[in-house]
Structure 1
């Protein structure tokens, strides 16, 4: 029985990055031997064990054989005869197919160290094509390592395109698509996740609402980048610069979906795209089973980002409309996320990357004024129902008007 540190822990140590999780492969052992050594078995598909002290994962070396479509279509084989090289060969990228023995010696049968040095994301073997989840994972690694100069190998991108053409991506279940998407939103350059999926043709299959934005023009004055698809990638990039919040990043990316359904005869204008975008976004979130917190914030941004951009010219009552529709009075933290996504939209345009966004300060000031209204004093006047609602709204409108600086 021999134990090796594998995967991301080896890769990140060689890159000089913090090692977050440690996974191990055990060669030459049986499940019974692992259990006798005190390991606790978990997982139904193949034996994975938790170390009795550290709780770290130890998996028996295994091989996989394709038996059907999708990422469930595999027969897994594990036995003491499976070698370390055979186990590493089934992994996705060469930089994830390295191991380290107890003495710290790196075992690298597929050129992972050379690809690390070259900044290259390259598949290990043709077996990559057997699992469509790997397309999503590679796009996520592109988002993680873009800042380090990593690029996707041409042959790997070509293989991913062949997988899309063969229909493998169509076998992905929505929950797994969202899982990888949400992870990618947490990476340093989440826009690369989207662009890699588009480069291989997978975006049209898993996120068609986003894919149809590419090639749709916008007015050149406010949008020198012209292309709506390019714009939303720039917006996501700006959101990543402004915050680490995956919910705000998701909302920023999804804010302009409605422009993809504007009739070409009306290009480059997109009147009413906010309402159309809300409909598309609801469908996307339902399909991918997007969590409620992501969904509600994204809907608020899709519906009211245009009004937020006009905050400097809106009347106090209209500012209150934006605040109420965003549920900001009850959820001020979510309103801060809303403003971050709107600022990313404002800055996600060619030449506007460093532009100030005073609209956020004005809306935040309006919210603080509205929240400062003493509801209890109105209730003491005996007001109820519609009268109470009208009086409260009038008081909040007056508070906003008093708090905002005049030109």
Structure 2
């Protein structure tokens, strides 16, 4: 029984990057021998074990055979006679198919070190085409290693997989998992660049794919193309180190522009409502977590109003805050504003401009939240008011507080 460090831990160490998780492959052992040695079995589809002390994952060397379509269409074989080379041959990219022995020696049968030096993402063998998730993984690695190129033969293989229908059999949960990880990488736009290049984006996110080629008004969008703008917004969210819900909101905030009637282009009247409707479709299809879909919904519906909020009086500001549910969820509202800032700065030549709407709206929220709503409600009830009447009194008091704070007027 021999153990080898494999995959991302070896790759990142060779690149001089921090190593956060270590994975190991075990050659020459049976599941019973692993359990007898104190390892905890956790694998569902193939034998994976947790080390009794470190809790790191140790997988038995294995081979796999394609048995059907999609991510689950495999039969795995793990036995003491499976070699390390056989295990490495089933991996996705050469840079992930390097192993390290206990004495530090590197085992690199597929030229992973050379591709690391050349900064190339290249598939290991033709077995790559059997798992459509690898299309997503390659796109995600392109976002992480933004200075790496994709080997032409790997791109052609990915295109062939899409044409053969493999991308149509991706499991929604795995699509979301890989997209979410890619959105959190250094340059998330590269993930979508790769997915577009191989044709997979049209299969998994047609709502995003159709944004390219859609014009916008140049006075607001010097980059003009909606797809280009969308990717600039996404990369701005990475630059500002936004959390995942904000990055997802940036990806989906303008989906409605892809369905704008041609006779009103380059204007996009009503795109906010269309974006919210398409967002719901995407979120249901990919089973997006509620935290992400709910924030994205607010951004899709209200980003235009938030951009224009410098023109609003106190009453309009309070109504905007109410629609954003800012009084109940002030922390989420701050993330909504961060997404809107990404949208405003994700434009050609405007990346460094300030976004004063954020500070003004947060100040308005602070002033409105200073109102003692419980006392106002009690006074209203004493006057015989109820329900919406009490709500109107609270809204009036909040509007007056915002107006007093800003020195502005109480608009109707």
- Normalising TM by the smaller chain, what interval? over 0.9
Q: Give the alignment of 1:283-322 within 5 angstroms.
A: 283-322=281-320
The residue number in structure 2 matching 1:227 is 225
Give, in whole Å, the separation in 1 of the partners of 2:374 and 2:37.
66
1:387 to 377, 380, 389: 389
Q: Give the alignment of 1:143-158 within 5 angstroms.
A: 143-146=143-146, 149-158=147-156
Counterpart of 1:381 in 2: which secondary structure? helix
Q: TM-score, normalised by structure 1?
A: 0.97
Give, in whole Å, the separation in 1 of the partners of 2:380 and 2:170.
58
The residue number in structure 2 matching 1:168 is 166
Give, in whole Å, the separation in 1 of the partners of 2:400 and 2:251.
35
Matched, 1:404 2:406: yes
Give, in whole Å, the separation in 2 of the partners of 1:405 and 1:353.
31
Give, in whole Å, the separation in 2 of the partners of 1:404 and 1:116.
56
The residue number in structure 2 matching 1:253 is 251
The residue number in structure 1 matching 2:334 is 336
Give, in whole Å, the separation in 2 of the partners of 1:161 and 1:317.
54
The residue number in structure 2 matching 1:78 is 78
Q: Is the 8 A contact 2:62 2:77 kept in 1?
A: yes
Q: Hey, which bits of structure 1, 4+ residues long, moved more than 2 A?
A: none
Counterpart of 1:163 in 2: which secondary structure? helix
The Cα shift of 1:334 comes to 0.4
Which stretch shifts more, 111-120 or 41-50?
41-50
Which stretch shifts more, 317-326 or 124-133?
317-326
Give, in whole Å, the separation in 2 of the partners of 1:155 and 1:244.
34
The Cα shift of 1:405 comes to 5.2
Counterpart of 1:137 in 2: which secondary structure? helix
Give, in whole Å, the separation in 2 of the partners of 1:365 and 1:405.
12
Give, in whole Å, the separation in 2 of the partners of 1:142 and 1:305.
29
- Which deviations, in whole Å up to 9, do the C-alpha atoms of 1:257-296 show, x marking residues without a partner? 0000011222111100011111111111111111111011
The residue number in structure 2 matching 1:8 is 8
The Cα shift of 1:142 comes to 0.9
The residue number in structure 2 matching 1:241 is 239
Q: Give the alignment of 1:92-131 within 5 angstroms.
A: 92-131=92-131
The residue number in structure 2 matching 1:40 is 40
Counterpart of 1:113 in 2: which secondary structure? helix
Q: Is the 8 A contact 2:380 2:393 kept in 1?
A: no
Give, in whole Å, the separation in 2 of the partners of 1:382 and 1:260.
47
The Cα shift of 1:94 comes to 0.6
Give, in whole Å, the separation in 2 of the partners of 1:244 and 1:103.
41
Counterpart of 2:145 in 1: which secondary structure? helix
Give, in whole Å, the separation in 1 of the partners of 2:143 and 2:355.
27
Give, in whole Å, the separation in 1 of the partners of 2:96 and 2:123.
9
Counterpart of 2:25 in 1: which secondary structure? strand
Which stretch shifts more, 30-39 or 175-184?
30-39
Q: How many residues get paired?
A: 405
Give, in whole Å, the separation in 1 of the partners of 2:354 and 2:181.
29
Give, in whole Å, the separation in 1 of the partners of 2:13 and 2:5.
11
| 1:243/1:405 CA distance change after superposition, 3 Å | farther
Give, in whole Å, the separation in 2 of the partners of 1:405 and 1:178.
46
Give, in whole Å, the separation in 2 of the partners of 1:285 and 1:400.
35
Give, in whole Å, the separation in 2 of the partners of 1:198 and 1:405.
50
